[in-house]
Amino acid sequence: NAGVTQTPKFRVLKTGQSMTLLCAQDMNHEYMYWYRQDPGMGLRLIHYSVGEGTTAKGEVPDGYNVSRLKKQNFLLGLESAAPSQTSVYFCASRETGRDLGQFFGPGTRLTVL
Amino acid sequence: GQQVMQIPQYQHVQEGEDFTTYCNSSTTLSNIQWYKQRPGGHPVFLIQLVKSGEVKKQKRLTFQFGEAKKNSSLHITATQTTDVGTYFCAGPRETSGSRLTFGEGTQLTVNP
């Protein structure tokens, strides 16, 4: 099992460009999450999904969109990147009803110039 | 809104010294989770505590959940260089148990 994978690992964008981050998990987890991590600010939830075809807003959703067309994939889109979106993005997944916490992917380091 | 706070933000210790990080929630939690993130890595789930006053051990790590279920602590005995990283606590949000509120973390460095 690969667990949670994220692509790409690194990306540099210019202001105004768009991109999609892909998260995939092979553990058949229902719940998936997108976080951003900035120095000194811990992990902040952007969007999340409680099952295929569902999405919901987290703490900092502005400027991002998500889709969960397949259970194993959770996509995070930036329509018009801004320097304030420079961050490390983590995807995570979780099984329902188990005390196993969230499984995190390796992260995507995004820089917006 | 719900807040989860951790202290200290940074801790530097000599190898062999003990280390403790504290987590405090503004609201009562149904459970508390702890994660470790190595430098340059991703958060890794360590443990979940559910019961009031619960204490769990993992080798040199001892986790406690307060009686009021609003605070928790992680204690490492005789730190090693492999303990270096940032330790996060997290609790489920009041309005949606499927979401977690993370503390800002305690960054531990261990001098050999």
pLDDT tens for each residue of B19-32: 999 999 999 999 99
Residue B5 touches chain A, beta carbons under 8 Å: no
- Flag whether pLDDT at B69 surpasses 90: yes
Contact A106 B42 (CB under 8 A): yes
Instruction: Give chain B positions within 8 Å (CB) of A31.
Output: 98
Alpha-carbon torsion angle A12, A16, A18, A19, nearest 10: 20
Is B42 in a helix, a strand, or coil? coil
Which of B9, B42, B46 lies closest to A107 in CB terms? B42
Higher pLDDT, A1 or A45: A45
Residue B99 touches chain A, beta carbons under 8 Å: yes
Q: What is the mean pLDDT of chain A?
A: 94
Q: What pLDDT digit, counting tens, does each position of A64-92 carry?
A: 999 999 999 999 999 999 999 999 999 99
Least confident of A43-47, B2-6, B13-17, B76-80: B2-6
